[in-house]
Each structure stands twice: as C-alpha cells, then as structure tokens.
C-alpha cells in the first residue's frame, strides 16, 4: 500500500495561535469525510493549529434508532453540523479543514459544507467498509478529487491494497494510505497525500 509523504519538517504545532502565519500564500478548503464514528473529529483535533470548532451533541435514546453503533459502541457524541480546524503546511499552503457529519440524516448539509472545497480526505474503518460507500458516493457525485485514509484501530482487519481498492471501487489514481487519526504526524501525512494528489491533478497529464 502506498505510504504518505513525510510531513513533520517545518510545520507549526497545534495550538500555536489563531492568526495566519506571515508565510501564508494559498488558502485551501478541504473536507474531512467518512461514516459515523470513523475518526473525523479526532483527526482534526490532532492536527489543528488553532482550537478546533466542534458541533457535537451527546447521543440519545432517540438517535439510537437511526445511528448504527455497530463497531463504535463506546462512542457517546456525534457531530451535528461541522468540525473545523486549520493547519499550515510548508510552502505557504494553509488548509481549512471541515469535518462533515457521517450519517444519512445530515445529507442535506452536504452541498453547503462542500461548497468551495478543492478536495476531500475520506476516512475508512476497515472493520466497517460497507459504511463508507454512501460517503464515497457523495464525494464522487460532487466531483471532488479525494484521497482515502484507512484509520487504524487496535482490532482493524488486515487487507491487501488490491482487496481494499476493489472493495471500495477506487480509481487507479486515487491515493490510499494508512493513518492513525490520534497521531498528529500520521494525520498530517494523510492530508499531504491528498494535497499532492490535488497538485498532480491540477498539473494535468
């Protein structure tokens, strides 16, 4: 499986302040997408250089009827609008990260959140691959270039890259990397894989 590029050199640390760095040259809106409970909020928390904005609510008995907790029994909250964070990359590129709700009932928010985005990082849990299909469909329908990051969990299943690409029906050029959404460097590497994909697509054949 392809590995993401090394990312640690020259990056600002999370929590370093709300102001844009003087080196900022290009501001890019990126979606962090994926099914319910896949780790979108965790990834944004791990990389954001500002205090992230969250719109999380506690799961209730009413939501239990519509939010499938299979595989995420320990989850107690859910994003109901967006998560938002920011990270500055080398070369003056600043990513504005918008985490999207993963449940079908929030689908009506998708067009508004996706407006103006240049690409999407789609998180996948290999324990629940089928849960990713709806989100991948939304991203593809929107026409956004995207990369797929397999968020690893202690009991994640192991598959070959070929098996995963087939299961997810990915185009040959779609980046597929592994990450641990809890780890800053690992999450940044996944984002850099997406950024490189966007650069390659903009350069053309």
pLDDT at 60: 43
d(CA 16, CA 79): 25
Phi and psi angles of residue 82, each rounded to the nearest 5 degrees, phi first: -145, 160
* Whole-number percent of the chain with pLDDT over 70: 76
**Encoded tokens for 143:** 């026409």
Q: Is the pLDDT of residue 146 over 90?
A: yes
DSSP at 98: E
Kindly report which listed range (41-50, 56-65, 129-138, 190-199) carries the lowest average pLDDT score. 56-65
State the CB neighbour count (10 A cutoff) for residue 52.
19
Q: Residues 57-68: pLDDT tens digits?
A: 544 444 444 445
Place of tokens 């192991």: 158
Nearest-Å Rg of the Cα atoms of the chain is 16
pTM as predicted: 0.81
Indicate the angle between helix axes 184-203 and 40-47, nearest 10 degrees. Answer: 90
126 or 82, which is more confident?
Answer: 126
DSSP secondary structure letter of residue 15: T
Query: Residue 102: what pLDDT?
Result: 63
Show the tokens assigned to 98.
């918008």
The number of helices, as runs of H, and strands, as runs of E, in the chain is: 6, 7
β-pairing, 119-124 vs 93-99, is: unpaired
């Amino acid at each position: 499986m392809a590995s993401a590029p090394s990312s640690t050199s020259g990056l600002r640390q999370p929590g370093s302040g709300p102001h844009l760095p003087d080196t900022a040259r290009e501001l890019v809106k990126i979606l962090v997408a994926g099914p319910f409970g896949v780790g979108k909020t965790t990834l944004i928390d791990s990389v954001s250089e500002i205090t992230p904005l969250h719109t999380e609510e506690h799961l209730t008995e009413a939501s239990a009827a519509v939010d499938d907790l299979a595989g995420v029994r320990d989850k107690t909250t859910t994003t109901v609008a967006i998560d938002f964070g920011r990270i500055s990359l080398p070369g003056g590129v600043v990513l504005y990260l918008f985490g999207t709700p993963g449940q079908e009932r929030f689908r009506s928010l998708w067009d508004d959140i996706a407006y103006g985005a240049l690409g999407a990082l789609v998180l996948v849990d290999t324990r629940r691959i089928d849960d990713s299909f709806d989100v991948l469909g939304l991203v593809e329908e929107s026409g956004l270039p995207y990369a797929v990051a397999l968020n690893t969990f202690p009991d994640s299943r192991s598959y070959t890259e070929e098996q995963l690409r087939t299961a997810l029906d990915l185009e040959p050029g779609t980046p597929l990397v592994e990450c641990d959404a809890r780890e800053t460097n690992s999450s940044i590497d996944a984002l850099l894989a997406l950024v490189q994909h966007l650069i390659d697509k903009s350069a053309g054949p």
